[in-house]
Structure 1
Amino acid sequence: MSAQQHSAFGAAEYIPPDPIFEVTKRFNADQNPQKVNLGQGTYRDENAKPWVLPSVREAEKLIGNAGHEYLPIEGLQSFRDEATKLLFHDTSALKENRIASCQSISGTGSLLLAGLVLRKANSGIENIIITDPTWSNHDLLFKEIGFNVVKAPYYKDRSFDFESYIGALKKADKRSAVVLHACAHNPTGCDPTHHQWKQIAAVIKENGIFPIIDSAYLGFNSGNYDEDAWAIKYIIEDLGLEAAICMSFAKNMGLYGERVGLTAIVTKAEDAKRTVFSLLQNAQRQTVSNPPVYGARIAATVLGNSELLKQWHKDLVTMSSRIRSMRKKLYDELVRLGTPGDWSHIVNQTGMFGYTGISKPQIERLEEQYHIYMANTSRISLAGLNDHNVEYVAKSLDEVVRNVQ
């Protein structure tokens, strides 16, 4: 390159790779047969293999070769209808036609659309409150589109720090939105009780905070979709609040690579829905133009077929039950070994993830010596455990807790 030519990237700074995906990369490169991946949040069966849900397999057979034409900007109509009915079936918001929806690129895309709509609506919202800790994309995404991200303390002494969290909400700027985890808090696995949810929602209403509800694990958490959606229903139905519900079908249908999501915004009145829908369409057009079709067809087929819907609810129970079983087995094995410390938080937490609370040197020892991989925050995906490796993981944990600070 001559002296007169300058690179457009000469002043660019290297951005380190995403740490969770790096954990998976190291795991995949490891040739040790005993290796265990407790890092990435994907469901695995009892043999540590990806599991295609029976309901999804049948849906794919029914779809056949449906073609590859563009979808409308807002996505597949049947998917939007079925996903909206699934969540809001018993609400006044659905009956009164107050829900604007748009298919999204899974959960990340759904959150992006929600944030962009708040920007385009001239809402006056400048701050996005997230839990500390939270899923890393919450921080990255909302900062990228110009919001101030405010962290509210959420986790202390291996449990939900309710007093600190609600205290932060009470002090929040009036020009704020808050990202709530509908269930299965990522990464802690610590959810509010119904009573705590009511108190949180009351503060949100009193302070005029707009709720953005990240709903990535509905049905996957407890095995009961409506139970996992309890906080959503309470906020929009009992309190009558506007809200953006950001749905993903990655976890609860196993459609990770198909990127199937929905942004559903509940408005105060039907006339506002039309405006919000136009904002969703505009945000979608500016970012991805229109969403992919195949995964949406699968989800729409599962939700719209009574037999497949029944099977899907059974699939949810299968996944959630196995994860709860692994929590109990890991805890029981640590107790049997007499591993120093109180490990009850393992069974008190819920959902796919949990915090072990071990130190970074202990995490490094687990990876280097025992080929057990997890996030450097000590978050583990319980889906990576099974009857073949849970004793090995417990014994390895026991060793590092005893011998590494």
Structure 2
Amino acid sequence: MSAILSVWHSLLLQTVVKSSSHRSAATGRRRNDGERLSPFACLKRATPTEMENLNQDYQLDSSPRKMNLAHEVYRNEVGKAQTFQAVKKAEISIACNDFNSSEPLPPLGNPDFLHAATEMVLGKSSPAQAVGRVVGIQTKNSIDALALAAQFLRHKTTRDVCLLARPCNPIYWQIFKEAGFNCQRYQYYSDARGELNIYGLVADLMTSPDGAVVVLDACSQHPTGQDPSVDEWKLLFHIVKCKKMLPLIHLDSPGLASGDPNEDAWPVRFFSDCGIDVLCAQSFVKNFGLYNETVGHLMVVLSNVAQVHAFRGQFESMLLDKNAECSSVHSSRIVAKILTDEKLRSEWCQTLKDMHQRVSRMRGEIRKKLAELKTPGNWQNLVKQNGYHLYWNPSRSQIRQLKDRHIYVPSSGRMNLTSVSPTNLDSLAAALNDVMQATKGDVSSDNYFVADKFNTQYFHSV
């Protein structure tokens, strides 16, 4: 037995020596060619987004006066993400509920959440919901809802033209282009007047192709913060109806635009009550402080109740084919609990009002400071903007000069007002004034949102 083991040991040793010599020769050749054995050596570093670059530069900035105005998070007075007491109470109630199921959600999501989300937008007396003309789909956020809607409309229907505002959230263009739509633009904002360009908007929609998908922001339009009035929304509805367009409305965090969720959701409610097909992508992230466990909602209101069964089946089939998963069960339960509990909903609404009032005060203070400094530009319309962002249309030069003053602003010019406080307000106003005075004669063609120029990499949202 010892002799046999000795022979096997000798053969094994010879094999290892030969294998090692082959590897050494191959390694030498690869090293001579400047190559590595690692299978990941061919990977190149991913190009960082604008938001990542801004955050990195901000973190490396040692100035005590630095300000990051580029993020999307609503921050409280001490710079932390806003915490909702109603959310905390809902979490405790949910944790103590022994009847909560651990079963997987249905393909379209948590039924309690879908019902509560739909009722919040359409109201308890909604005719569409009463007769069953509404289909809801739980998503990760409103952007995910938009992407699902774009894919469904392009691959399950004959719609192939999409109308987007100029300017609009740059992610819209990316979503609908990738879905295969022919994206076209309609005028929305006048830089010269610093306000909604309703005449250009109406003219462009009137001359657009019939049957197009038209994407609209229900409130605090991204990035301008300018929204149509009630009468202007009614005019837009008549154009959409006459042109047989399909409205896809983005309702981002209702309650943060005006302080009242019902008021912010009014355009969606008006369109659906008028008996046309409407899609609405909704987010419950910023207006509930659910940044860690996001949740959104895609609501489809059909004009014909007979189409509901087929629509729901087609959407479930698409989600199963894509192996798509719903967002957090926990966050959907939180939203459903708050929206269906009278006391929690009242507390949540009061928090939204307080948040809105804080932003409104800061917006007014900034306008007052810029007026005192006689800063060039259309700052008088700041108080007409909605939401917690301040919009202006800066040039590349102005962005660079603000960065030199330790103020970090995205190329869109959409600045988060919740990062502004009484302690840094004067610094921001002085910096804006200095930059605007220094670039008073700049040509606006250098601005990012002119002539359909988009930097889609900057966007990071929930």
Please give the residue correspondences for 1:178-327 in structure 2 after superposition, counting only pairs within 5 Å: 178-237=214-273, 239-285=274-320, 286=322, 288-327=324-363
> What displacement does 1:280 show?
2.5
RMSD over aligned CA atoms reads 2.5
1:333 paired with 2:356, answer: no
TM-score (structure 1 length as normaliser): 0.92
Alignment of 1:74-153 (within 5 A): 74-89=108-123, 90-122=125-157, 124-153=158-187
Q: Secondary structure at the match of 2:232?
A: helix
Measure how far apart 1:72 and its partner are.
2.0
* Amino acid across the alignment from 1:314: Q
Matched-pair contact (CA < 8 Å) for 2:223–2:391: yes
In the alignment, what sits opposite 1:389?
A: 424
Q: 1:20 to 1:135 in 2, by over 3 A?
A: farther
Shift of 1:352: 2.2
Is the alpha carbon distance of 1:292 and 1:14 closer, same or farther for their aligned partners in structure 2, counting shifts above 3 Å? same
Q: Which residue of 2 aligns with 1:52?
A: 83
Which of 426, 435, 447 pairs up with 1:400? 435
TM-superposed deviation, 1:44: 0.9
Residue 24 (structure 1) shift: 3.0
Question: Which residue is 2:403 aligned to?
Answer: 367
Return the alpha-carbon distance in structure 1 between the equivalents of residues 197 and 334 of structure 2: 39
Distance change in 2, residues 1:342/1:151 (3 Å): closer
Residues 117 and 276, structure 1, Cα contact 8 Å, conserved in 2: no
Instruction: Tell me the distance in 2 between the aligned counterparts of 1:109 and 1:28.
Output: 29
- Cα pair 1:186 1:353 within 8 Å, conserved: no
Indicate the percent of aligned positions where both proteins have the same amino acid.
27
- Give ranges in structure 2 of 5+ residues lacking alignment: 1-26, 34-38, 443-462
Counterpart in 1 of 2:199? 163
- SS of 1:288's equivalent? coil
Kept after mapping to 1: 8 A contact 2:394/2:411: no
Q: Could you list the per-position Cα deviations for residues 114-171 of structure 1 after superposition, in whole angstroms to 9, with x for gaps in the alignment? A: 122213432x110111111111111111111111111212111221111111111111
Q: Please report how far the alpha carbon of residue 9 of structure 1 lies from its aligned counterpart in structure 2 after TM superposition.
A: 11
Q: Contact conserved, 1:358 with 1:401, CA < 8 A, in 2? A: no
Letter aligned with residue 412 of structure 2: T
2:62 to 3, 26, 31: 31
Matches of residues 62-81 of structure 1 in structure 2 within 5 Å? 62-64=93-95, 69-81=103-115
Q: How many residues align?
A: 399
Q: TM-score of the superposition, structure 2-length normalised?
A: 0.81
Superposed CA offset, 1:298-320 (max 9, x none):
11121122111111111110111
- Corresponding residue of 2:5: none
For 2:166 and 2:46, locate their aligned partners in 1 and report how far apart those are by CA, in whole Å.
Answer: 22
Tell me, yes or no, if the aligned pair for 2:260 and 2:349 is still in contact at 8 Å: yes
Q: What displacement does 1:21 show? A: 4.3
Q: Report the AA paired with residue 83 of structure 2.
A: V
Q: In the TM superposition, what is the alpha-carbon distance from 1:26 to its structure 2 partner? A: 2.8
The match for 1:355 among 374, 391, 407 is 391
Alpha carbons of 1:10 and 1:215: their partners in 2 closer, same or farther (altered >3 Å)?
farther
Say which structure, 1 or 2, has more relative contact order (CA 8 Å, 6+ apart): 1
Q: In the alignment, is the contact (CA less than 8 A) between 1:120 and 1:279 conserved in 2? A: no
Say whether the 8 Å CA contact 2:282–2:297 is kept in structure 1: yes
Contact 2:211 2:243 in 1 (8 A): no
CA distance, structure 2, for counterparts of residue 375 and residue 304 of structure 1: 38
